Structure 1
Amino acid sequence: MSTIVFLHAHPDDEASQTAGTMRLAADAGHRVVCVYATNGDHGTLPTDLAEEETIVLRRRAEAEASGQVLGTARVAWLDYADSGMTGWDQNGHEESFHAADLDEAAGRLAAILDEEDADVVVGYDWHGGYGHPDHVKVHHVARRAVELAARRPRYLEATMNRDHLRRIFRAGVEAGLFPEDEGFDPDRPADDGNPIGTPEAELHWHVDVRPVLASKRAALACHASQEDVGWMLGMPEDQYAMAFGDEWLSEPGRPEGIEDGLPF
Structure 2
Amino acid sequence: MNRMKGKVVIITGAAQGIGAVYAKAIAAEGAHVVVADVLDGSSVVAEIEASGAQALTITTDVSDERSAAAMATAAVERFGRIDVLINNAAIYASLKMQSFEEIDLDEWDKVMAVNVRGPFVCARAVAPHMRAQKYGRIINISSGTPFKGTPNLLHYVTSKGAILSLTRALARELGDHGIAVNTLAPGLVLSEGVVANAEMRERLTAPVIASRAIKRDQMPEDLIGPLLFLASDESAFMTGETVVVDGGSVMH
Q: Relative CO higher for 1 or 2, CA cutoff 8 Å, sep ≥ 6? A: 1
